[in-house]
Amino acid sequence: NGDGKADILLRDTTTGEIVASKRIRGEAGKTGLRIGVASHGVGGNLGAFQKTPLGEAAQDCITQAVNFIAESMEDTDIEGSVVTIASDQIIVSLGENYGIGEGQKLTVRTEGQILTDPATGAVLDKTEGETIGTLEVTKVRDKISYCKLVDGKMPERGNTVVVAK
């Protein structure tokens, strides 16, 4: 027929807890499918699938899923770690790949405590560590950023860095 369904689950990889979920129903005729394949010089186009009701319903499901994930992640902190400290430069594991820019402020926290169920040993959550300082990004690379300390105490390798909101 012209309908497709998908269940989207967003899971916290630290605890395994499902933090958001949604059942999506895609309908034919809402959007066009735009999928292409190219590998090792061999190209292909799934244009014929685009014209089928199932193809249109699949694309509608994908569009709704991407929108749901983006909206669900808006309030989620972006976290990284202090990789190393070289004299007065602090190098962190967040770079252009996370949308970090020069002048951006990052909060430094100690590692939070992992909370486990004493009976089962299952990881339940993680506490927020103590805030120890603020960094300012001075130089950005693809996967790292160079920062300077602007407030608080000098962090240590492994401390958590959070994009300040």
* pLDDT tens per residue across span 70-123: 666 556 668 899 999 988 899 999 999 888 999 999 999 988 888 888 998 888
Q: What is the pLDDT of residue 50?
A: 60
Helices (H), 74-139: none
Range picked from 50-54, 119-123, 128-132, 134-138 for highest mean pLDDT: 134-138
What CA–CA distance (Å, rounded) separates 141 from 154? Answer: 22
What CA–CA distance (Å, rounded) separates 1 from 5? Answer: 12
Using a cut of 0.95, tell me whether the model's pTM lies above it.
Answer: no
Cβ-in-10-Å burial (0-12, 13-18, 19+) of 8 comes to middle
